[in-house]
């Protein structure tokens, strides 16, 4: 491996941060640019990290911080809309038996842990900067930036998310498509009895659920059919979410009491996308949400993104030559794992949209999670 190589990472989310940490560990020079000045350090409510995500976080050297900051659990409860527990299923430990099945975390806390690890790696970090052009000559990429500077790199890793401008700039036309569902999310204090994820199917929404994210916090979410975003003024977000959540029982009345500040409520659509054929053009390669996204019905979005970074870093650091053959091998290795997760995540939501009452959701989930347990 040639450690004099230089890599530009575009985007400082989970995939970009992970790739940076791993490449720097191997002595490769990395410049990371992130369009947002705050590096997304305060964005989001909560995140569910299953074992295969924890496996990568351990490889990044941040597992101890994640374990201390989050809330680990090993089961999911299915409830009626009134809160009656109908079934409790043990989660498969997809990261191996030495890791919890699931950890819930406040999303900003996970981002801050990864930011600290990137800073400690010695990478060059530039915030509030975008790549305005990427010109390739076969052996390298010349990147020009929004601050007027430029740099020359052996590889560009596009980790700039769902709406990736890099993906479009290199001629990959794929764009995320809505699946027909939308989700309301909020962070709230954790009632003492909430020690796992509980999901209610049916009632006024398709799904109403919550996940503990620390000893004192959780995040709650309600899934409904999509509506025109422009028809929902942001100042009404708390009222809109509360009107759905207050019709659920169990722990929901305690949670609903904290749905009061519209600025703390997030509303987004469920999207799907899977770039087929290859995830690179020349020496620019996609990772994470820039290459694929799926509804959070299996809670695998962040896990797949972290796995992309881990696999790509392994392949880059082991190779003497960085070329189309290597980049295509990365795609072939990842697509066989990512495709079934995307398809299963979309299928579970589609069964609900179609009102299929005898759908084999447990079977599909079980088969998919068993596959995920294998090393990526």
End-to-end CA distance of the chain: give it in Å, rounded.
22
Q: With contact defined as beta carbons under 8 Å apart, do 335 and 291 qualify?
A: no
DSSP string, 119-182: HHHT-EEEES--EEEEEE-SS-EEEEETTS-EEEESEEEE---TT-HHHHHTT-----EEEEEE
As a whole number of angstroms, the distance between CA 228 and CA 9 comes to 34
- Identify the pLDDT of residue 42: 86
Confirm whether 334 is domain-assigned.
yes
Question: In this prediction, what percent of the chain has a pLDDT beyond 70?
Answer: 99
- Pull the structure tokens for residue 103: 């950890």
Provide the mean pLDDT of the chain.
96
Q: Calculate mean pLDDT across residues 223-248.
A: 94
11 close to 109: Cβ distance less than 8 angstroms: no
Domain shared by 30 and 150, yes or no: yes
Q: pLDDT tens digits, residue range 77-109? A: 999 999 999 999 999 999 999 999 999 999 999
The rounded distance, in Å, linking the Cα atoms of 11 and 100 is: 29
Q: What is the mean pLDDT of residues 168-186?
A: 97
pLDDT band, residue 2 (cuts 50/70/90): low
Query: Strand ranges (DSSP E) for 240-317?
Result: 265-274, 280-281, 284-286, 292-293
DSSP codes, 235-260: GGHHHHHHHHHTT--TTHHHHHTT--
Residue 219 has pLDDT above 80, yes or no: yes
Q: Is residue 79 domain-resident?
A: no
92 found inside a domain:
no
Asked if 50 and 299 touch (Cβ cutoff 8 Å), the reply is yes
Residue 340 sits in which domain range?
A: 6-68+107-176+272-373
Angle at 47 between CA 50 and CA 349, to 5 degrees: 80
Pairing assessment for the beta strands 6-10 and 155-158 based on DSSP bridges: parallel
Cα 3 from Cα 130, distance rounded (Å): 25
Q: Are residues 193 and 266 in the same domain?
A: yes
Residues 186 and 256 in one domain: yes
Q: What is the pLDDT of residue 44?
A: 84
Instruction: For residues 261-275, give the mean pLDDT.
Output: 96
Say whether both 358 and 298 belong to one domain.
yes
DSSP 8-state symbol, 91: P
Q: Are residues 261 and 325 in the same domain?
A: no
Residues 161 and 37 occupy one common structural domain: yes
Domain shared by 63 and 200, yes or no: no
Same structural domain, 148 and 11: yes
Using the predicted structure, report yes or no on whether residue 3 has a pLDDT greater than 80: no
Q: At residue 1, does pLDDT exceed 70?
A: no
- From CA 45, how far away is CA 264, in angstroms rounded? 8
- Same domain? 333 vs 193: no
Task: Give the H or E element holding residue 335.
Answer: helix 324-354
Residues 226 and 302 occupy one common structural domain: no
Instruction: Give residue for tokens 């970074």.
Output: 309
95 lies in a domain?
no
Domain boundary pick from 245, 271, 297: 271
For residue 19, the SS3 value is helix
Domain membership of residue 80 (yes or no) is no
Round to whole Å and give the CA distance between 167 and 150: 19
- What's the total number of domains in the chain? 2
| Residue 49's CATH number | 3.50.50.60
pLDDT digits (tens, 9 = 90+) for 107-125: 999 999 999 999 999 999 9
- How high is the pLDDT of residue 229? 83
Question: φ, ψ for residue 63 (rounded to 5)?
Answer: -60, -40
Read off the CATH number of the domain in which 215 is found: 3.30.9.30
């Amino acid at each position: 491996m040639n450690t004099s190589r230089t890599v530009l990472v575009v985007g400082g989310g989970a995939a970009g941060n992970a790739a940076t940490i791993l490449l720097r560990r191997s002595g490769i020079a990395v410049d990371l640019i992130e369009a947002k000045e705050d590096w997304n350090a305060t964005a989001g409510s909560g995140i569910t990290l299953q074992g295969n995500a924890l496996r990568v976080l351990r490889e990044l050297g941040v597992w101890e911080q994640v374990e201390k900051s989050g809330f680990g659990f090993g089961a999911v409860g299915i409830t009626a809309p009134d809160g009656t527990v109908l079934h409790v299923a043990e989660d498969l430990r997809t990261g191996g038996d030495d890791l919890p099945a699931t950890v819930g975390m406040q999303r900003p806390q996970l981002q801050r842990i990864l930011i600290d690890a990137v800073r400690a790696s010695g990478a060059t970090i530039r915030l509030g900067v975008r790549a305005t052009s990427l010109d390739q000559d076969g052996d390298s990429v010349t990147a020009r930036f929004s601050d007027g500077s430029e740099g020359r790199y052996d590889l560009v890793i596009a980790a700039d998310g769902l709406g990736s401008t890099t993906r479009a700039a290199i001629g990959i036309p794929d764009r995320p498509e809505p699946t027909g569902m939308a989700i309301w999310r909020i962070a709230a204090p954790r009632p003492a009895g909430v020690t796992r994820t509980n999901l209610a199917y049916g009632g006024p929404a398709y799904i109403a659920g919550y996940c503990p994210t620390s000893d004192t916090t959780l995040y709650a979410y309600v899934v409904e059919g999509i509506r025109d975003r422009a028809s929902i003024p942001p100042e009404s977000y708390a009222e809109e979410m509360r009107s759905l959540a207050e019709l659920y029982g169990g722990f929901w009345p305690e949670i609903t009491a904290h749905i009061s500040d519209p600025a703390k409520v997030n509303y987004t659509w469920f999207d799907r996308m899977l770039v087929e054929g290859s995830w690179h053009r020349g020496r620019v390669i996609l990772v994470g949400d820039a290459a694929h996204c799926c509804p959070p019905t299996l809670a695998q979005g962040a896990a797949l993104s972290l796995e992309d970074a881990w696999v790509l870093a392994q392949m880059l650091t082991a190779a003497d030559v960085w070329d189309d053959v290597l980049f295509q091998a990365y795609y072939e290795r990842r697509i066989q794992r990512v495709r079934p997760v995307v398809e299963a995540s979309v299928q579970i939501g589609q069964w609900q949209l179609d009102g299929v009452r005898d759908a084999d959701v447990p079977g599909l989930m079980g088969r998919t999670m068993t596959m995920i347990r294998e090393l990526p």
